[in-house]
């Protein structure tokens, strides 16, 4: 294969169609900025930390989620550079600074006072009683001091390597060191093994849930680290580094070993953000910026802990059922008999987290136990650390079944866990492959091959989410069980393609990226546009995590201009502006942010009397369409199609509690934010529908 100058292998194999590339933006349409859209999403998450109707500890959890999301934003998308040289970067930096200021205002002015009123408090040094101060000193001497090694800076002791997102102190000292030198600056690195939030024992807490932060514990005894010197000033600081692993797969012989090496250096990548205490002096802040090669725009002064993510430790130490969401426990699955018998009768739908993920592990368990099952194949993207799925696959190998696992080693921030999976599976004899060079395998598939008489029959589970029992309790996703001969044959072809990298044959029902998924979706949108032009009913409803792919957005613009009614339920980044007269006047964009993370990908198309519903692993992003292996499949059963519409689309279009609607300028306004009687949100209605945890509200059909 001959590559054009600057063209990657994946782009040459799977180019965007010439027609899509040639299309230009219509007049009056400018796509929105993706990074600003991501920051706007985090503003919506922060709103949950403000809402009085959200339980107090859950509000703190959402505050921590914003910090975690911002960490990933900087680790993956930000670059240091000269931020002041680009007006767009200046606006983005201003938006992030504003979000951080609002976040710490919620922390200091709303959440901490409200927690204190309920007997839960983080006690600062100035507030501590003499007994509490003695306890903190003892804790420092016993648990913390032995692990701290302050480094005084001089030509023989240069600025130390500071790990990504670690807690550190910078100290300016008066006087001379033991050798009579006036080295002013010292750095204290705080080991990650130390707990960041410590609960005071009952003997000094007075029966309340009182906590101290590790940074405050160190601050109170900081002077003891420098005997004979006086601390003039100090500040805690935290640096965020670019952490997206870049491995040239064409140049490495062993991807797993290359990633292991990369993981060792991830904590010391290019610095992109510096957080310091609000009171950090200008000279100390300037010194740190110089050390990390950052511009002033990368400096964030925070009124509180430099790492709010670590406050999640407090949540685990407080037993206050009234301050968290009522537990939601999906009801046990209705008895339907053995899985293989059920699927011979028809497809089965699983709606997570409103139904139990146990159905997936039960399906796999049945396959492992069944002597007629010959082979099990599975894709692993973010399986997490839960051993259930791994143990079942290892047991299948021990029972003589052929087990093939396609493990995506480059799943961001899950690389190490996935490498561990590969090694544990290979150690028992499973076949492990890593997919296709240059592409991430993001499709979620489990295929079981069973001998039935003289024939082999396939059964599959396809999903919009991951094979991760932990996130299955927190993310909304759809699992789809099927024995459809054509669809399961397509899945088998895709597994063979991923393992052998042989040419993928023509598929009967599934659409696969990066081959034809983008083109087929554009064709489907254009069919709806044609129906609208001919005066027939024309409707598109899409639910996904992100919408940023330009050819797909242009197709939606054409359909809107043709008169099709389009609803987009996009949780995060959406670059297509809604309700722009003459361009996207028929497009509504909505984001739903609630207790669970919205994660389903559902594509509904209606043209005249015909309707199609597709489920998919893919968001409508360029990377999903052209740089990942993704899967989309149609829902053939009309009853299951209706259920998907009624449960996964209609409630979100009707939501008046957790929904935000986009304005033409790309900003979002919360739906009925000030209304007294909003009714249950989509997620609450679905919990009531499945689990009877709240008053039921009938979900109106589409």
Which residues are part of the catalytic machinery? 442
Q: Which single residue is written with the structure tokens 């992109």?
A: 272
CA nearest 431: which of 456, 404, 395? 404
SS (H, E, C) 427-488: HCCCEEECCCCCCEECCEEEEEEEEECCEEEEEEEEECCCCCCCHHHCEEEEEEEECCHHHH
CA nearest 370: which of 485, 482, 450? 450
Q: Which residues are CB-contacts of 653 (< 8 A; sequence separation ≥ 6)?
A: 541, 567, 569, 590
Q: Which residues are CB-contacts of 411 (< 8 A; sequence separation ≥ 6)?
A: 381, 382, 418, 440
Contact 39, 33 (CB under 8 A): no
Residue 475 marked in a binding site: yes
Q: In the structure encoding, which two tokens stand for residue 312, read together?
A: 């999640």
Residue 69 marked in a binding site: yes
The SS3 assignment for 396 reads helix
Stated as kind and residue range, the H or E segment containing 66 is helix 56-76
Q: In the structure encoding, which two tokens stand for residue 565, read together?
A: 């009614």
Q: Which single residue is written with the structure tokens 């009124």?
A: 303
Q: In the structure encoding, which two tokens stand for residue 189, read together?
A: 């690195």
Contact 77, 332 (CB under 8 A): no
Diameter of the chain by CA atoms? 89
Taking the CB of residue 86, how many other CB atoms lie within 10 A of it?
Answer: 12
CA nearest 170: which of 274, 249, 87, 271? 274
Counting Cα atoms < 13 Å in the Cβ hemisphere of 223 gives 9
SS (H, E, C) 549-576: CHHHHHHHHHHHHHCCEEEEEECCCECC
Q: Alpha-carbon distance 702 to 699, whole Å? A: 9
Q: Alpha-carbon distance 413 to 418, whole Å? A: 10
- DSSP E strands in 330-371: the ranges are 348-352
Stated as kind and residue range, the H or E segment containing 492 is helix 485-500
Burial of 530 (0-12, 13-18, 19+ CB in 10 A): middle
Burial of 575 (0-12, 13-18, 19+ CB in 10 A): buried
Residue 624 marked in a binding site: no
Beta bridge partners of 547: 574, 620
Q: In the structure encoding, which two tokens stand for residue 303, read together?
A: 């009124």
Residue 656, CA distances (Å) to 156, 570, 591, 681 in order? 63, 16, 11, 6
Burial of 489 (0-12, 13-18, 19+ CB in 10 A): middle
Peptide bond into 514 cis (omega under 30): yes
The SS3 assignment for 538 reads strand
Q: In the structure encoding, which two tokens stand for residue 132, read together?
A: 């509490």
Output Rg (C-alpha) for the chain, integer angstroms. Answer: 27
Residue 124, CA distances (Å) to 92, 221, 275 in order? 34, 13, 20
Residue 571 marked in a binding site: yes
Residues tagged in the binding site annotation for ATP:
69, 475, 571, 599
Numbered residues of the known binding site: 69, 382, 412, 475, 571, 599
- Residues comprising the binding site for Mg(2+)? 382, 412
């Amino acid at each position: 294969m001959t590559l054009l100058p600057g063209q990657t292998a994946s782009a040459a194999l799977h180019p965007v169609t010439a027609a899509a590339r040639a299309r230009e933006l219509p007049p009056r349409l400018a796509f929105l900025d993706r990074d600003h859209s991501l920051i706007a999403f985090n503003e919506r998450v922060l709103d949950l930390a403000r809402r009085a109707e959200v339980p107090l500890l859950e509000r703190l959890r959402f505050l921590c989620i914003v910090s975690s999301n911002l960490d990933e934003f900087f680790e993956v998308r930000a670059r240091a550079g000269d931020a002041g040289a680009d007006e767009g970067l200046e606006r983005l930096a201003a938006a992030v600074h504003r979000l951080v200021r609002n976040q710490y205002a919620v922390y200091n002015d709303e959440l901490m006072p409200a927690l204190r009123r309920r007997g839960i408090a983080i006690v600062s040094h100035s507030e501590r009683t003499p007994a509490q101060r003695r306890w903190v000193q003892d804790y420092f001497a016993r648990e913390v001091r032995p692990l701290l090694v302050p480094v005084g800076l001089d030509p023989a002791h240069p600025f130390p390597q500071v790990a990504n997102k670690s807690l550190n102190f910078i100290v300016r000292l008066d006087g001379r060191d033991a050798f009579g030198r006036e080295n002013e600056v010292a750095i204290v690195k705080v080991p990650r093994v130390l707990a960041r939030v410590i609960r005071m024992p009952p003997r000094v807490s007075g029966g309340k849930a009182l906590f101290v932060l590790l940074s405050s514990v160190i601050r109170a005894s900081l002077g003891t680290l420098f005997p004979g010197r006086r601390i003039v000033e100090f500040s805690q600081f935290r640096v965020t580094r670019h952490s997206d692993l870049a491995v040239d797969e064409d140049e490495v012989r062993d991807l797993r070993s290359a990633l292991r090496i990369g993981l060792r250096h991830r904590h010391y990548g290019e610095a992109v953000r510096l957080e310091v205490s609000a009171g950090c002096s200008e000279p100390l802040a300037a010194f740190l910026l110089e050390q990390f090669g950052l511009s002033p725009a990368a400096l964030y002064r925070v009124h509180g802990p430099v790492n709010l993510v670590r406050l999640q430790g407090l949540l685990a130490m407080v037993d206050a059922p009234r301050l968290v969401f009522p537990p939601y426990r999906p009801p046990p699955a209705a008895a339907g008999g053995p899985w293989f018998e059920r699927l011979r009768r028809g497809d089965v739908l699983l709606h997570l987290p409103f139904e139990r993920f146990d159905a997936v592990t039960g399906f796999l368990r049945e396959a492992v136990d069944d002597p007629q099952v010959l082979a099990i194949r599975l894709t692993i993207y973010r399986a997490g650390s839960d051993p259930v799925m791994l143990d079942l696959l290892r047991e299948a190998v021990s029972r003589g079944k052929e087990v093939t696992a396609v493990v995506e080693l480059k799943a961001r921030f899950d690389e190490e866990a996935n490498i561990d999976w590969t090694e544990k599976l290979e150690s028992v004899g499973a076949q492990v492959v890593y997919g296709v060079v240059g592409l991430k395998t993001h499709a979620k598939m489990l295929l079981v091959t069973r001998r039935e008489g003289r024939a082999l029959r396939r059964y599959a589970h396809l999903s919009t989410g991951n094979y991760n029992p932990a996130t299955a309790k927190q993310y909304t996703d759809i699992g789809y069980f099927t024995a459809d001969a054509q669809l399961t044959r397509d899945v088998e072809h895709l597994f063979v393609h991923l393992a052998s990298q042989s040419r993928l044959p023509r598929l009967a029902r599934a659409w696969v990226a990066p081959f034809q998924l983008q083109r087929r979706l554009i064709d489907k949108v254009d069919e709806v546009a044609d129906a609208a032009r001919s005066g027939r009913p024309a409707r598109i409803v899409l639910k996904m995590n992100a919408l940023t792919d330009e050819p797909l957005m242009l197709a939606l613009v054409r359909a809107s201009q043709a008169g099709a009614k389009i609803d987009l339920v996009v949780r995060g980044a959406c670059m297509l502006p809604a309700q722009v007269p003459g361009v996207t006047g028929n497009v509504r964009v909505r984001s739903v942010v609630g207790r669970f993370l919205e994660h389903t990908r559902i594509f509904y198309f209606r043209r005249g009397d015909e309707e199609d519903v597709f489920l998919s692993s893919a968001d409508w992003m360029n990377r999903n369409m052209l740089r990942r292996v993704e899967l989309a499949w149609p829902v053939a059963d009309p009853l299951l199609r209706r259920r998907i519409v009624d449960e996964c689309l209609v409630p979100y279009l009707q939501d008046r509690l957790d929904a935000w609607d986009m304005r033409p300028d790309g900003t979002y306004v919360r739906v009925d934010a000030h209304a007294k009687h909003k009714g249950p949100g989509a997620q609450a209605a679905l919990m009531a529908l499945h689990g009877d945890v709240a008053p039921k509200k009938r979900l109106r059909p589409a």
